[in-house]
Structure 1
């Protein structure tokens, strides 16, 4: 069924106020694999309340408006949705605990054609509730595979660039925990696809898959480790495309190409299957 452009473009979201604690901050960091070596003091600040730092990709689970596309009023074939891309810009450090306000809107509705589906871009700005400072901007690109052909369309956001064909400048391999999905779901996403083997088999997977945003967090870890010396404030933005699922316990190999003015292109592969799972990645790193 084709999307009603005006309905979706003008979808109204209530502000989402969310309090989080130091325990939430530490759980998020542990769920994306930080501090697997508890003696690594460079990672300890993300999981220890003394001088606790918020890992930047935690913006993914703060101020989230929920699975609004499942609302029957939206008229979207939600069972055929695919999370296509994730883009984040980091404006200021998150306090170690506090309250945020998430304000969401639909920035783009793009018709790919009746046989090709549609793209819907949901933009969420996350503010510090204490002073209204803008902390992060999150864009989620959703591919609505069964909902194209409505005619009216916005221009698509600038496409994410393909990585160079030359050998990467840096490679960082990070293992994911076998129970990573069980940990990550406690942040926000309780979808049984990530925990129940029967549900995973019904969806066509041999076992539960890792949350895409957990994979995103592991890739963020690789870049913060390799190019930011574990200083989260140096990461300005990180955008990527989801290409294939990851199974918990697999090793993520992140390949990075450094460009000018702090830009970094990257992709992530699963070592065990030699398959690209994050493609067309680009990040900004401050000096």
Structure 2
């Protein structure tokens, strides 16, 4: 896509193309390892018993927000604000997916714009929310505000360890942004050490949540969350989860994922 539009709002509803993306069992296994599945989880890391984590589909669809970036919709100050995933059916152990992508809403936040990138296929629908500084002020709708916090019962507390090499491993699934591997690159965004990919943290949280409620992580039907703070590989994270599927991930008392939601069949 070579078209460049001056007004960010003009991107709303535009198609980003269609791609057929193939993968093998080893790709799904590498992904499971990258998001924290241990070698003992033969159902996630052994091809003879393999069930594919639904969030693996997000790595196959990463090309869509990249297409929008390459088209000049936003610059390198843009950050991944939030993510949703709705699962329609299980991903096969290996095969091909035909993915169609488009821009959804483009919200005008004044000093910034928020672009929704929607990717759909038979197996799932996913939406990236991209916060783009400097692209607002075009006179568009501000979009919905954040839902106010609600009174909840005491949450279940879970530990979520991350590995020192986890960002380097997760890069092999497709997100090769330099801030996840190169200290010089992460320093340019104010982080002295490379940070963990937000989608890695989001997916990793589903494994202990599923275990805590007696579900299988591959039975995930709905996932979402807002990326509210950085994680450094090696951090020990705290997950707070509630019976309705809501969850939050924290590090040393500070939120790193909020407005989380993980629902299992």
Q: Distance in 2 between matches of 1:122 and 1:198?
A: 29
Match of 2:229 in 1: 244
Among candidates 202, 213, 224, match of residue 216 of structure 1: 202
Q: Distance in 2 between matches of 1:274 and 1:159?
A: 21
Which structure 1 segments of 5+ residues have no match? 127-133
Match of 1:138 in 2: 126
2:248–2:255 Cα contact (<8 Å) kept: yes
Q: Distance in 2 between matches of 1:195 and 1:81?
A: 18
Match of 1:112 in 2: 109
Which structure 2 segments of 5+ residues have no match? none
Among candidates 12, 33, 37, match of residue 34 of structure 1: 37
Q: Within 5 Å, which residues of 2 pair with 1:181-220?
A: 181-220=167-206
Q: Distance in 1 between matches of 2:28 and 2:189?
A: 31
Supply the RMSD in Å over aligned alpha carbons. Answer: 2.1
Deviation by residue 1:146-201 (Cα, 9 ceiling, x = unmatched): 11111133744x85563645420x22212111100110000001111101112112
Does the C-alpha gap of structure 1 residues 161 and 217 become closer, same or farther in structure 2, counting only changes over 3 Å?
farther
Match of 2:166 in 1: 180
Match of 2:264 in 1: 285
Q: Distance in 2 between matches of 1:224 and 1:216?
A: 13
Q: Distance in 1 between matches of 2:186 and 2:72?
A: 26
Q: Distance in 1 between matches of 2:106 and 2:73?
A: 14
Does the C-alpha gap of structure 1 residues 231 and 5 become closer, same or farther in structure 2, counting only changes over 3 Å?
closer
Determine if the alignment matches structure 1 residue 95 to structure 2 residue 92.
yes
Q: Distance in 2 between matches of 1:123 and 1:183?
A: 26
Match of 2:26 in 1: 23
Match of 2:248 in 1: 267
Among candidates 53, 56, 59, match of residue 57 of structure 2: 59
Does the C-alpha gap of structure 1 residues 178 and 14 become closer, same or farther in structure 2, counting only changes over 3 Å?
same
Aligned residues: 260
Match of 1:130 in 2: none
1:10 shift after superposition: 4.0
Determine if the alignment matches structure 1 residue 125 to structure 2 residue 125.
no
SS at match of 2:61: coil
When normalised by structure 2's length, the TM-score is: 0.90
Q: Distance in 1 between matches of 2:154 and 2:136?
A: 38
2:8–2:106 Cα contact (<8 Å) kept: no
SS at match of 2:7: coil
When normalised by structure 1's length, the TM-score is: 0.84
1:231 shift after superposition: 4.9
Among candidates 5, 29, 33, match of residue 9 of structure 2: 5
Does the C-alpha gap of structure 1 residues 229 and 119 become closer, same or farther in structure 2, counting only changes over 3 Å?
same
1:163–1:280 Cα contact (<8 Å) kept: no
Q: Distance in 2 between matches of 1:163 and 1:29?
A: 33
2:82–2:129 Cα contact (<8 Å) kept: yes
